[in-house]
Structure 1
Amino acid sequence: MRSQLNQNLIVAIGFVVALIFLLASAGPLVVVGAGYRGVIMNFGQVQDEILNEGLHWRVPIMTEIRQISVRVQKTDILSQVGSKDLQEVKLDVAVNWHVDPAKVNKVYQSIGDEVQVVNRILNPAVGEIIKAAAAKKNAEEILTKRPELKAEIDANLDDRLKVYGIILDGVSLLDVQFTREFADAIEQKQVAEQEAQRAVYIAQKAEREAEAEVNRAKGRAEAQSLIQSTLTPEVLKNKALEAWDGKFPLIYDGSPLPFINVDLLGLKNSSAQQQGQVK
Protein backbone atom coordinates (compact mmCIF):
# COMPACT_ATOMS: atom_id res chain seq x y z
CA MET A 1 0.00 0.00 0.00
CA ARG A 2 2.70 2.41 0.93
CA SER A 3 4.74 1.53 -2.15
CA GLN A 4 1.70 2.22 -4.32
CA LEU A 5 1.30 5.64 -2.74
CA ASN A 6 4.97 6.37 -3.30
CA GLN A 7 4.66 5.45 -6.96
CA ASN A 8 1.61 7.65 -7.39
CA LEU A 9 3.43 10.51 -5.68
CA ILE A 10 6.43 10.11 -7.96
CA VAL A 11 4.18 10.14 -11.04
CA ALA A 12 2.40 13.28 -9.82
CA ILE A 13 5.66 15.03 -9.09
CA GLY A 14 6.97 14.04 -12.52
CA PHE A 15 3.84 15.38 -14.19
CA VAL A 16 4.12 18.69 -12.33
CA VAL A 17 7.82 18.99 -13.21
CA ALA A 18 7.09 18.25 -16.85
CA LEU A 19 4.29 20.78 -16.88
CA ILE A 20 6.49 23.42 -15.30
CA PHE A 21 9.27 22.65 -17.77
CA LEU A 22 6.83 22.87 -20.65
CA LEU A 23 5.46 26.18 -19.45
CA ALA A 24 8.95 27.50 -18.87
CA SER A 25 10.12 26.42 -22.32
CA ALA A 26 7.02 27.90 -23.96
CA GLY A 27 7.51 31.11 -22.01
CA PRO A 28 4.74 33.54 -21.07
CA LEU A 29 6.89 36.45 -22.28
CA VAL A 30 7.94 37.24 -25.84
CA VAL A 31 10.17 40.03 -27.17
CA VAL A 32 9.43 41.49 -30.63
CA GLY A 33 12.71 42.75 -32.05
CA ALA A 34 13.48 46.08 -33.70
CA GLY A 35 12.24 46.24 -37.27
CA TYR A 36 9.70 43.45 -36.71
CA ARG A 37 6.01 43.08 -35.94
CA GLY A 38 4.40 40.18 -34.12
CA VAL A 39 1.57 38.18 -35.67
CA ILE A 40 -0.60 36.62 -32.95
CA MET A 41 -2.02 33.16 -33.52
CA ASN A 42 -4.30 31.44 -31.00
CA PHE A 43 -4.21 27.73 -31.71
CA GLY A 44 -3.06 28.60 -35.24
CA GLN A 45 -5.73 31.21 -35.95
CA VAL A 46 -4.35 34.65 -36.95
CA GLN A 47 -5.66 37.44 -34.77
CA ASP A 48 -6.43 41.04 -35.71
CA GLU A 49 -4.06 42.45 -33.10
CA ILE A 50 -0.44 43.14 -34.16
CA LEU A 51 2.39 43.33 -31.65
CA ASN A 52 4.83 46.23 -31.98
CA GLU A 53 8.47 46.13 -30.95
CA GLY A 54 9.09 45.33 -27.29
CA LEU A 55 8.09 42.90 -24.51
CA HIS A 56 4.68 41.22 -24.58
CA TRP A 57 2.70 38.64 -22.57
CA ARG A 58 1.20 35.58 -24.16
CA VAL A 59 -0.65 32.50 -23.05
CA PRO A 60 1.72 29.54 -23.33
CA ILE A 61 0.69 26.67 -25.58
CA MET A 62 -2.41 28.50 -26.78
CA THR A 63 -0.77 31.62 -28.23
CA GLU A 64 2.05 31.63 -30.78
CA ILE A 65 3.81 34.81 -31.94
CA ARG A 66 5.25 34.90 -35.45
CA GLN A 67 7.67 37.77 -36.04
CA ILE A 68 7.64 39.36 -39.53
CA SER A 69 10.25 41.88 -40.68
CA VAL A 70 8.99 45.29 -41.78
CA ARG A 71 12.47 46.49 -42.76
CA VAL A 72 13.34 47.40 -46.35
CA GLN A 73 14.21 44.25 -48.29
CA LYS A 74 16.32 44.14 -51.47
CA THR A 75 15.55 41.54 -54.10
CA ASP A 76 17.51 41.15 -57.36
CA ILE A 77 15.50 39.78 -60.27
CA LEU A 78 16.92 38.90 -63.69
CA SER A 79 14.28 38.91 -66.43
CA GLN A 80 14.62 37.91 -70.07
CA VAL A 81 12.20 39.91 -72.20
CA GLY A 82 11.49 40.76 -75.81
CA SER A 83 11.59 44.29 -77.20
CA LYS A 84 9.18 45.89 -79.65
CA ASP A 85 11.53 45.06 -82.54
CA LEU A 86 11.74 41.42 -81.37
CA GLN A 87 15.20 41.68 -79.84
CA GLU A 88 16.09 39.53 -76.84
CA VAL A 89 16.97 41.66 -73.80
CA LYS A 90 18.04 40.69 -70.29
CA LEU A 91 17.19 43.17 -67.54
CA ASP A 92 18.75 42.94 -64.10
CA VAL A 93 16.37 44.70 -61.69
CA ALA A 94 16.83 45.46 -57.99
CA VAL A 95 13.55 45.91 -56.09
CA ASN A 96 13.45 47.53 -52.64
CA TRP A 97 10.27 46.73 -50.71
CA HIS A 98 8.88 46.11 -47.24
CA VAL A 99 5.76 44.66 -45.67
CA ASP A 100 3.19 47.23 -44.55
CA PRO A 101 3.49 47.26 -40.71
CA ALA A 102 -0.28 47.70 -40.38
CA LYS A 103 -0.99 44.63 -42.52
CA VAL A 104 1.59 42.07 -41.44
CA ASN A 105 -1.10 39.76 -40.08
CA LYS A 106 -3.01 39.80 -43.40
CA VAL A 107 0.22 39.31 -45.36
CA TYR A 108 1.23 36.35 -43.23
CA GLN A 109 -2.25 34.88 -43.38
CA SER A 110 -2.66 35.17 -47.16
CA ILE A 111 0.93 34.85 -48.39
CA GLY A 112 3.37 33.81 -45.66
CA ASP A 113 6.73 35.11 -44.49
CA GLU A 114 9.28 37.21 -46.41
CA VAL A 115 10.60 34.31 -48.48
CA GLN A 116 7.12 33.38 -49.64
CA VAL A 117 6.39 37.03 -50.47
CA VAL A 118 9.37 37.03 -52.84
CA ASN A 119 8.55 33.67 -54.43
CA ARG A 120 4.79 34.01 -54.70
CA ILE A 121 4.27 37.73 -55.34
CA LEU A 122 7.41 39.70 -56.13
CA ASN A 123 9.09 37.50 -58.75
CA PRO A 124 5.97 36.93 -60.89
CA ALA A 125 4.80 40.56 -60.63
CA VAL A 126 8.20 42.02 -61.56
CA GLY A 127 8.63 39.61 -64.48
CA GLU A 128 5.19 40.38 -65.89
CA ILE A 129 5.51 44.16 -65.54
CA ILE A 130 8.99 44.28 -67.03
CA LYS A 131 7.89 42.25 -70.05
CA ALA A 132 4.91 44.55 -70.64
CA ALA A 133 7.04 47.70 -70.33
CA ALA A 134 9.89 46.42 -72.52
CA ALA A 135 7.51 45.32 -75.27
CA LYS A 136 6.54 48.97 -75.83
CA LYS A 137 10.09 50.04 -76.74
CA ASN A 138 12.69 49.10 -79.30
CA ALA A 139 15.88 47.55 -78.03
CA GLU A 140 17.78 50.77 -78.65
CA GLU A 141 15.13 52.76 -76.74
CA ILE A 142 15.46 50.38 -73.79
CA LEU A 143 19.11 51.34 -73.67
CA THR A 144 18.78 55.06 -74.32
CA LYS A 145 15.52 55.69 -72.41
CA ARG A 146 16.21 53.78 -69.22
CA PRO A 147 14.74 56.49 -66.94
CA GLU A 148 11.39 56.26 -68.75
CA LEU A 149 11.42 52.46 -68.58
CA LYS A 150 12.27 52.55 -64.88
CA ALA A 151 9.49 55.05 -64.13
CA GLU A 152 6.91 52.86 -65.88
CA ILE A 153 8.04 49.73 -64.04
CA ASP A 154 8.07 51.64 -60.76
CA ALA A 155 4.51 52.95 -61.14
CA ASN A 156 2.96 49.66 -62.29
CA LEU A 157 4.74 47.55 -59.70
CA ASP A 158 3.75 49.91 -56.90
CA ASP A 159 0.08 49.53 -57.81
CA ARG A 160 0.41 45.76 -58.02
CA LEU A 161 2.13 45.26 -54.66
CA LYS A 162 -0.20 47.54 -52.69
CA VAL A 163 -3.00 45.02 -53.21
CA TYR A 164 -1.01 42.45 -51.19
CA GLY A 165 0.01 44.77 -48.37
CA ILE A 166 3.55 45.27 -49.69
CA ILE A 167 5.04 48.73 -50.08
CA LEU A 168 7.46 49.41 -52.93
CA ASP A 169 10.42 51.61 -51.97
CA GLY A 170 12.10 51.79 -55.36
CA VAL A 171 13.23 49.98 -58.50
CA SER A 172 16.74 50.14 -59.96
CA LEU A 173 17.79 48.92 -63.42
CA LEU A 174 21.20 47.49 -62.64
CA ASP A 175 22.09 46.15 -66.07
CA VAL A 176 20.74 45.80 -69.61
CA GLN A 177 22.16 43.04 -71.80
CA PHE A 178 21.54 42.34 -75.48
CA THR A 179 22.49 39.47 -77.75
CA ARG A 180 26.04 39.51 -79.09
CA GLU A 181 24.82 40.25 -82.61
CA PHE A 182 22.71 43.22 -81.56
CA ALA A 183 25.49 44.59 -79.34
CA ASP A 184 27.90 44.40 -82.30
CA ALA A 185 25.36 46.17 -84.50
CA ILE A 186 24.99 48.98 -81.95
CA GLU A 187 28.76 49.30 -81.69
CA GLN A 188 29.14 49.47 -85.47
CA LYS A 189 26.39 52.10 -85.65
CA GLN A 190 28.11 54.21 -83.01
CA VAL A 191 31.43 53.91 -84.85
CA ALA A 192 29.76 54.93 -88.11
CA GLU A 193 28.11 57.93 -86.43
CA GLN A 194 31.43 59.00 -84.91
CA GLU A 195 33.16 58.70 -88.29
CA ALA A 196 30.37 60.70 -89.93
CA GLN A 197 30.67 63.40 -87.29
CA ARG A 198 34.44 63.43 -87.78
CA ALA A 199 34.00 63.77 -91.56
CA VAL A 200 31.61 66.68 -91.05
CA TYR A 201 34.10 68.30 -88.68
CA ILE A 202 36.95 67.87 -91.17
CA ALA A 203 34.81 69.32 -93.99
CA GLN A 204 33.80 72.29 -91.85
CA LYS A 205 37.43 72.83 -90.82
CA ALA A 206 38.57 72.73 -94.47
CA GLU A 207 35.80 75.15 -95.41
CA ARG A 208 36.82 77.55 -92.66
CA GLU A 209 40.48 77.31 -93.71
CA ALA A 210 39.53 77.95 -97.36
CA GLU A 211 37.49 80.99 -96.36
CA ALA A 212 40.40 82.25 -94.26
CA GLU A 213 42.79 81.78 -97.18
CA VAL A 214 40.42 83.61 -99.52
CA ASN A 215 40.17 86.44 -97.03
CA ARG A 216 43.93 86.58 -96.71
CA ALA A 217 44.30 86.60 -100.51
CA LYS A 218 41.74 89.38 -100.76
CA GLY A 219 43.59 91.30 -98.13
CA ARG A 220 46.90 90.92 -99.95
CA ALA A 221 45.32 91.91 -103.27
CA GLU A 222 43.69 94.96 -101.73
CA ALA A 223 46.99 95.91 -100.09
CA GLN A 224 48.89 95.57 -103.34
CA SER A 225 46.24 97.54 -105.18
CA LEU A 226 46.49 100.29 -102.58
CA ILE A 227 50.27 100.33 -102.82
CA GLN A 228 50.15 100.49 -106.62
CA SER A 229 47.68 103.36 -106.52
CA THR A 230 50.05 105.35 -104.31
CA LEU A 231 53.26 104.64 -106.28
CA THR A 232 53.51 107.79 -108.44
CA PRO A 233 56.66 108.55 -110.49
CA GLU A 234 57.76 111.05 -107.86
CA VAL A 235 57.42 108.46 -105.11
CA LEU A 236 59.41 105.94 -107.15
CA LYS A 237 62.16 108.50 -107.71
CA ASN A 238 62.38 109.28 -104.03
CA LYS A 239 62.49 105.59 -103.06
CA ALA A 240 65.18 104.93 -105.65
CA LEU A 241 67.29 107.85 -104.38
CA GLU A 242 66.84 106.62 -100.81
CA ALA A 243 68.06 103.17 -101.80
CA TRP A 244 71.04 104.45 -103.98
CA ASP A 245 74.42 104.64 -102.25
CA GLY A 246 75.55 107.56 -104.48
CA LYS A 247 78.14 105.58 -106.48
CA PHE A 248 78.21 104.91 -110.21
CA PRO A 249 79.56 101.65 -111.62
CA LEU A 250 83.36 101.74 -112.15
CA ILE A 251 83.12 99.71 -115.32
CA TYR A 252 80.59 100.79 -117.86
CA ASP A 253 79.04 97.84 -119.73
CA GLY A 254 76.85 99.86 -122.01
CA SER A 255 73.72 99.71 -119.80
CA PRO A 256 72.04 102.98 -118.94
CA LEU A 257 73.32 104.61 -115.81
CA PRO A 258 70.80 104.80 -113.01
CA PHE A 259 68.72 107.91 -112.72
CA ILE A 260 70.52 109.60 -115.63
CA ASN A 261 67.34 110.33 -117.46
CA VAL A 262 65.59 111.48 -114.32
CA ASP A 263 67.86 112.87 -111.72
CA LEU A 264 71.07 113.88 -113.52
CA LEU A 265 69.23 115.77 -116.21
CA GLY A 266 67.32 117.55 -113.55
CA LEU A 267 70.55 118.40 -111.76
CA LYS A 268 72.16 119.74 -114.99
CA ASN A 269 69.22 121.99 -115.73
CA SER A 270 69.30 123.27 -112.20
CA SER A 271 73.08 123.93 -112.44
CA ALA A 272 72.73 125.78 -115.77
CA GLN A 273 70.04 127.99 -114.34
CA GLN A 274 72.17 128.81 -111.32
CA GLN A 275 75.18 129.75 -113.61
CA GLY A 276 73.00 132.04 -115.78
CA GLN A 277 71.83 133.85 -112.73
CA VAL A 278 75.44 134.37 -111.56
CA LYS A 279 76.51 135.87 -114.90
Structure 2
Amino acid sequence: METETNPGKKKNSVKMRGLTTTIVVAVLVVIVGMNSYAQVEYGHVGLYKTFGKLNSNVLSPGIHFKIPFIQNVIQVNTQVTKAETDTSASSKDLQPVSTHVAVNYSVNKESAYNLMNNIGGSFDSIIINPAVQEIVKEVTARYQAEDLIARRDVVAGEISEHLTQRLAKYDLIVNEINIVNFKFSDAFNQSIEAKQVAQQQALKASNDLKRIEIEAKQKVAQAQAEAEALKLKKQEVTPELVQLKQIEVQEKALEKWDGKLPTVTGGATPFIDIQSLTNQ
Protein backbone atom coordinates (compact mmCIF):
# COMPACT_ATOMS: atom_id res chain seq x y z
CA MET A 1 0.00 0.00 0.00
CA GLU A 2 2.83 2.38 0.74
CA THR A 3 4.24 1.66 -2.71
CA GLU A 4 0.94 2.73 -4.36
CA THR A 5 0.58 5.92 -2.28
CA ASN A 6 4.00 7.43 -2.97
CA PRO A 7 3.58 7.81 -6.76
CA GLY A 8 0.39 9.88 -6.20
CA LYS A 9 2.11 12.23 -3.86
CA LYS A 10 4.92 12.68 -6.34
CA LYS A 11 2.47 13.52 -9.11
CA ASN A 12 0.73 16.12 -6.94
CA SER A 13 4.06 17.61 -5.97
CA VAL A 14 5.09 17.89 -9.62
CA LYS A 15 1.80 19.56 -10.47
CA MET A 16 2.20 22.06 -7.64
CA ARG A 17 5.72 22.92 -8.71
CA GLY A 18 4.55 23.36 -12.28
CA LEU A 19 1.70 25.62 -11.19
CA THR A 20 3.99 27.67 -8.99
CA THR A 21 6.46 28.07 -11.84
CA THR A 22 3.69 29.19 -14.16
CA ILE A 23 2.47 31.76 -11.65
CA VAL A 24 5.99 33.07 -11.08
CA VAL A 25 6.62 33.32 -14.81
CA ALA A 26 3.30 35.11 -15.32
CA VAL A 27 4.09 37.59 -12.55
CA LEU A 28 7.54 38.20 -14.05
CA VAL A 29 6.00 38.77 -17.46
CA VAL A 30 3.55 41.29 -16.00
CA ILE A 31 6.31 43.09 -14.11
CA VAL A 32 8.53 43.19 -17.19
CA GLY A 33 5.61 44.33 -19.31
CA MET A 34 4.74 47.15 -16.90
CA ASN A 35 8.35 48.31 -16.90
CA SER A 36 8.75 48.19 -20.66
CA TYR A 37 6.99 51.52 -21.32
CA ALA A 38 6.70 55.01 -19.81
CA GLN A 39 4.21 57.82 -20.22
CA VAL A 40 5.25 61.45 -20.72
CA GLU A 41 2.61 63.84 -19.36
CA TYR A 42 1.13 66.75 -21.29
CA GLY A 43 3.16 69.94 -20.86
CA HIS A 44 6.37 67.94 -20.37
CA VAL A 45 9.13 66.36 -22.45
CA GLY A 46 10.94 63.14 -21.60
CA LEU A 47 14.56 62.02 -21.60
CA TYR A 48 15.85 58.45 -21.54
CA LYS A 49 18.20 57.68 -18.66
CA THR A 50 20.25 54.48 -19.11
CA PHE A 51 22.38 53.41 -16.16
CA GLY A 52 22.47 57.05 -15.00
CA LYS A 53 23.36 58.49 -18.41
CA LEU A 54 20.96 60.83 -20.22
CA ASN A 55 20.06 60.32 -23.84
CA SER A 56 19.85 63.47 -25.98
CA ASN A 57 16.69 62.19 -27.67
CA VAL A 58 13.81 64.37 -26.45
CA LEU A 59 10.49 62.51 -26.06
CA SER A 60 7.19 64.24 -26.75
CA PRO A 61 4.09 63.70 -24.56
CA GLY A 62 2.65 60.19 -24.88
CA ILE A 63 3.66 56.54 -24.30
CA HIS A 64 7.21 55.41 -25.11
CA PHE A 65 8.90 51.97 -24.84
CA LYS A 66 12.03 51.46 -22.77
CA ILE A 67 14.32 48.63 -21.71
CA PRO A 68 12.90 47.20 -18.45
CA PHE A 69 15.04 47.71 -15.34
CA ILE A 70 17.77 49.33 -17.43
CA GLN A 71 16.17 52.50 -18.74
CA ASN A 72 13.80 54.98 -17.17
CA VAL A 73 12.28 58.22 -18.47
CA ILE A 74 12.62 61.49 -16.58
CA GLN A 75 10.14 64.25 -17.29
CA VAL A 76 10.93 67.94 -17.69
CA ASN A 77 8.15 70.50 -17.19
CA THR A 78 7.96 72.90 -20.15
CA GLN A 79 4.92 74.84 -18.95
CA VAL A 80 5.14 78.38 -17.56
CA THR A 81 6.36 78.14 -13.97
CA LYS A 82 6.62 80.81 -11.27
CA ALA A 83 9.68 81.38 -9.11
CA GLU A 84 9.48 83.90 -6.24
CA THR A 85 12.55 85.54 -4.73
CA ASP A 86 13.14 87.99 -1.85
CA THR A 87 16.05 90.37 -2.27
CA SER A 88 17.64 92.94 0.04
CA ALA A 89 19.43 95.85 -1.63
CA SER A 90 20.14 99.59 -1.37
CA SER A 91 18.86 102.38 -3.58
CA LYS A 92 21.01 105.09 -5.15
CA ASP A 93 20.39 107.34 -2.13
CA LEU A 94 21.43 104.46 0.18
CA GLN A 95 17.95 103.59 1.39
CA PRO A 96 17.57 99.90 2.36
CA VAL A 97 15.04 98.17 0.08
CA SER A 98 13.53 94.71 0.36
CA THR A 99 12.08 93.49 -2.93
CA HIS A 100 9.77 90.56 -3.56
CA VAL A 101 9.99 89.49 -7.22
CA ALA A 102 7.94 86.87 -9.07
CA VAL A 103 9.41 85.45 -12.30
CA ASN A 104 7.33 83.48 -14.80
CA TYR A 105 9.64 81.30 -16.87
CA SER A 106 9.60 78.17 -19.02
CA VAL A 107 12.08 75.58 -20.35
CA ASN A 108 12.96 75.48 -24.02
CA LYS A 109 11.74 72.07 -25.22
CA GLU A 110 14.50 71.52 -27.76
CA SER A 111 17.18 72.31 -25.17
CA ALA A 112 15.82 70.28 -22.25
CA TYR A 113 18.69 67.77 -22.57
CA ASN A 114 21.37 70.48 -22.22
CA LEU A 115 19.63 71.97 -19.18
CA MET A 116 19.15 68.66 -17.36
CA ASN A 117 22.58 67.31 -18.30
CA ASN A 118 24.48 70.45 -17.26
CA ILE A 119 22.37 71.85 -14.40
CA GLY A 120 19.91 69.20 -13.24
CA GLY A 121 16.37 69.36 -11.97
CA SER A 122 17.07 72.00 -9.28
CA PHE A 123 17.86 74.71 -11.82
CA ASP A 124 15.39 77.13 -10.20
CA SER A 125 17.40 77.32 -6.95
CA ILE A 126 20.78 76.93 -8.68
CA ILE A 127 20.30 79.39 -11.57
CA ILE A 128 17.12 81.48 -11.36
CA ASN A 129 17.04 82.69 -7.74
CA PRO A 130 20.73 83.78 -7.60
CA ALA A 131 20.39 85.54 -10.96
CA VAL A 132 17.27 87.42 -9.81
CA GLN A 133 18.93 88.55 -6.58
CA GLU A 134 22.04 89.80 -8.34
CA ILE A 135 20.17 91.66 -11.07
CA VAL A 136 17.65 93.24 -8.67
CA LYS A 137 20.50 94.57 -6.53
CA GLU A 138 22.25 95.94 -9.61
CA VAL A 139 19.15 97.68 -10.99
CA THR A 140 17.93 98.99 -7.61
CA ALA A 141 21.24 100.75 -7.01
CA ARG A 142 20.63 102.92 -10.11
CA TYR A 143 17.44 104.57 -8.83
CA GLN A 144 16.49 106.88 -5.98
CA ALA A 145 14.17 105.25 -3.47
CA GLU A 146 11.21 107.42 -4.49
CA ASP A 147 11.82 106.62 -8.17
CA LEU A 148 11.60 102.90 -7.42
CA ILE A 149 8.01 103.52 -6.34
CA ALA A 150 7.04 106.01 -9.02
CA ARG A 151 8.74 104.13 -11.90
CA ARG A 152 8.05 100.55 -10.89
CA ASP A 153 7.16 99.48 -14.45
CA VAL A 154 10.45 100.87 -15.80
CA VAL A 155 12.42 99.09 -13.06
CA ALA A 156 10.60 95.81 -13.77
CA GLY A 157 11.31 96.17 -17.49
CA GLU A 158 15.02 96.69 -16.86
CA ILE A 159 15.18 93.67 -14.53
CA SER A 160 13.35 91.57 -17.12
CA GLU A 161 15.77 92.60 -19.88
CA HIS A 162 18.88 91.69 -17.89
CA LEU A 163 17.37 88.45 -16.56
CA THR A 164 16.31 87.35 -20.06
CA GLN A 165 19.87 87.72 -21.30
CA ARG A 166 21.28 85.89 -18.27
CA LEU A 167 18.94 82.88 -18.39
CA ALA A 168 19.15 82.49 -22.17
CA LYS A 169 22.56 80.90 -21.64
CA TYR A 170 20.82 78.06 -19.81
CA ASP A 171 17.98 77.68 -22.34
CA LEU A 172 15.45 79.19 -19.93
CA ILE A 173 12.80 81.57 -21.29
CA VAL A 174 11.65 84.56 -19.19
CA ASN A 175 7.95 85.16 -19.85
CA GLU A 176 7.19 87.91 -17.33
CA ILE A 177 8.63 89.78 -14.35
CA ASN A 178 6.45 91.17 -11.53
CA ILE A 179 7.72 93.31 -8.67
CA VAL A 180 5.22 92.21 -6.04
CA ASN A 181 6.39 94.59 -3.33
CA PHE A 182 8.98 97.20 -2.38
CA LYS A 183 9.55 97.47 1.36
CA PHE A 184 11.44 100.42 2.87
CA SER A 185 12.47 101.39 6.39
CA ASP A 186 9.95 102.95 8.78
CA ALA A 187 11.87 106.25 8.79
CA PHE A 188 11.71 106.48 5.01
CA ASN A 189 8.00 105.66 4.97
CA GLN A 190 7.35 108.41 7.53
CA SER A 191 9.33 110.94 5.47
CA ILE A 192 7.36 109.97 2.35
CA GLU A 193 4.09 110.40 4.22
CA ALA A 194 5.17 113.82 5.57
CA LYS A 195 6.19 114.90 2.09
CA GLN A 196 2.85 113.84 0.66
CA VAL A 197 1.01 115.78 3.38
CA ALA A 198 3.11 118.87 2.62
CA GLN A 199 2.45 118.51 -1.10
CA GLN A 200 -1.29 118.20 -0.48
CA GLN A 201 -1.28 121.30 1.74
CA ALA A 202 0.73 123.24 -0.85
CA LEU A 203 -1.68 122.12 -3.55
CA LYS A 204 -4.64 123.22 -1.44
CA ALA A 205 -3.04 126.62 -0.80
CA SER A 206 -2.33 127.03 -4.50
CA ASN A 207 -5.91 126.11 -5.36
CA ASP A 208 -7.23 128.56 -2.77
CA LEU A 209 -5.05 131.32 -4.22
CA LYS A 210 -6.26 130.57 -7.72
CA ARG A 211 -9.86 130.59 -6.48
CA ILE A 212 -9.38 133.98 -4.79
CA GLU A 213 -7.77 135.41 -7.92
CA ILE A 214 -10.62 134.12 -10.06
CA GLU A 215 -13.24 135.55 -7.69
CA ALA A 216 -11.46 138.93 -7.68
CA LYS A 217 -11.34 138.95 -11.46
CA GLN A 218 -15.03 138.08 -11.56
CA LYS A 219 -15.86 140.98 -9.24
CA VAL A 220 -13.79 143.37 -11.34
CA ALA A 221 -15.47 142.15 -14.49
CA GLN A 222 -18.89 142.51 -12.85
CA ALA A 223 -18.08 146.08 -11.69
CA GLN A 224 -16.81 147.00 -15.14
CA ALA A 225 -19.97 145.58 -16.69
CA GLU A 226 -22.19 147.55 -14.28
CA ALA A 227 -20.22 150.74 -14.93
CA GLU A 228 -20.50 150.23 -18.65
CA ALA A 229 -24.24 149.63 -18.35
CA LEU A 230 -24.65 152.78 -16.27
CA LYS A 231 -22.66 154.73 -18.79
CA LEU A 232 -24.92 153.52 -21.57
CA LYS A 233 -27.98 154.45 -19.57
CA LYS A 234 -26.67 157.97 -19.05
CA GLN A 235 -26.05 158.31 -22.74
CA GLU A 236 -29.66 157.33 -23.41
CA VAL A 237 -31.08 160.12 -21.16
CA THR A 238 -32.06 163.12 -23.39
CA PRO A 239 -34.06 166.34 -22.65
CA GLU A 240 -36.96 164.95 -24.67
CA LEU A 241 -36.93 161.76 -22.53
CA VAL A 242 -36.88 163.81 -19.31
CA GLN A 243 -39.83 165.92 -20.52
CA LEU A 244 -41.76 162.82 -21.52
CA LYS A 245 -41.21 161.27 -18.05
CA GLN A 246 -42.45 164.48 -16.42
CA ILE A 247 -45.61 164.42 -18.53
CA GLU A 248 -46.23 160.79 -17.59
CA VAL A 249 -45.92 161.64 -13.90
CA GLN A 250 -48.30 164.58 -14.21
CA GLU A 251 -50.84 162.48 -16.08
CA LYS A 252 -50.84 159.86 -13.38
CA ALA A 253 -51.25 162.55 -10.70
CA LEU A 254 -54.14 164.13 -12.60
CA GLU A 255 -55.92 160.81 -12.92
CA LYS A 256 -55.82 160.41 -9.13
CA TRP A 257 -56.82 164.10 -8.33
CA ASP A 258 -60.48 164.63 -7.31
CA GLY A 259 -60.47 168.37 -8.12
CA LYS A 260 -60.05 169.45 -4.51
CA LEU A 261 -56.94 170.86 -2.97
CA PRO A 262 -55.89 169.17 0.25
CA THR A 263 -56.66 171.16 3.40
CA VAL A 264 -53.55 169.86 5.16
CA THR A 265 -50.33 169.20 3.41
CA GLY A 266 -47.16 167.75 4.72
CA GLY A 267 -45.02 169.18 2.02
CA ALA A 268 -45.01 171.09 -1.19
CA THR A 269 -48.02 170.65 -3.46
CA PRO A 270 -46.95 169.39 -6.84
CA PHE A 271 -47.39 171.95 -9.58
CA ILE A 272 -49.60 170.85 -12.41
CA ASP A 273 -49.73 172.94 -15.57
CA ILE A 274 -53.44 172.56 -16.40
CA GLN A 275 -53.21 174.94 -19.31
CA SER A 276 -50.49 173.01 -21.00
CA LEU A 277 -52.34 169.74 -20.51
CA THR A 278 -55.53 171.30 -21.97
CA ASN A 279 -53.68 172.57 -24.99
CA GLN A 280 -52.20 169.18 -25.54
Q: TM-score, normalised by structure 2?
A: 0.80
1: CA distance, partners of 2:195 / 2:162: 33
Work out whether residues 36 and 66 of structure 2, in 8 Å CA contact, stay in contact via their aligned partners in 1: yes
Percent of aligned pairs with the same residue?
29
Q: Which residue of 1 aligns with 2:203?
A: 197
Alignment of 1:158-169 (within 5 A): 158-169=164-175
Q: CA deviation at 1:182?
A: 1.6
Q: 1:241 to 1:21 in 2, by over 3 A?
A: same
Alignment of 1:2-81 (within 5 A): 17=25, 20=28, 24=32, 27-81=35-89
**Aligned residue identity for 2:167:** L
Q: 1:19 to 1:256 in 2, by over 3 A?
A: closer
2: CA distance, partners of 1:59 / 1:203: 87
**Aligned residue identity for 2:269:** L
Q: Which residue of 1 aligns with 2:93?
A: 85
Q: Deviation per CA, 1:47-103, whole angstroms, max 9, x where unpaired? A: 221111111111122212111111111122222221111112222211111111112
2: CA distance, partners of 1:177 / 1:83: 12
Q: CA deviation at 1:29?
A: 1.0
**Aligned residue identity for 1:242:** E
Alignment of 1:222-237 (within 5 A): 222-237=228-243
**Aligned residue identity for 2:82:** K
238-247 or 146-155, larger mean C-alpha shift: 238-247
**Aligned residue identity for 2:148:** I
Q: CA deviation at 1:22?
A: 9.3
Q: Which residue of 2 aligns with 1:122?
A: 128
Does residue 155 of the first structure (1) align with residue 168 of the second (2)?
no
Q: Which residue of 2 aligns with 1:109?
A: 117
Match of 1:77, SS?
strand
Number of residue pairs aligned between Structure 1 and Structure 2 = 256
Q: Which residue of 1 aligns with 2:188?
A: 182
1: CA distance, partners of 2:227 / 2:212: 22
Q: Deviation per CA, 1:20-44, whole angstroms, max 9, x where unpaired? A: 3795287111111111111212211
Work out whether residues 38 and 72 of structure 2, in 8 Å CA contact, stay in contact via their aligned partners in 1: no
**Aligned residue identity for 2:98:** K
Q: Deviation per CA, 1:189-245, whole angstroms, max 9, x where unpaired? A: 222222222222221121111111111111222222332343345433432443452
Q: Deviation per CA, 1:234-272, whole angstroms, max 9, x where unpaired? A: 43343244345234654245x5433x3xx53xx55798x
1:170 corresponds to which of 166, 176, 181: 176
1:134 corresponds to which of 140, 149, 165: 140
**Aligned residue identity for 1:211:** K
Q: Is there any run of 5+ residues in structure 2 with no aligned partner, and where?
A: 1-9
Q: Is there any run of 5+ residues in structure 1 with no aligned partner, and where?
A: 275-279
Q: 1:250 to 1:147 in 2, by over 3 A?
A: farther
Q: Which residue of 2 aligns with 1:277?
A: none
How much is the aligned-residue C-alpha RMSD, in angstroms? 3.0
2: CA distance, partners of 1:21 / 1:150: 57
92-101 or 174-183, larger mean C-alpha shift: 174-183
**Aligned residue identity for 1:197:** L
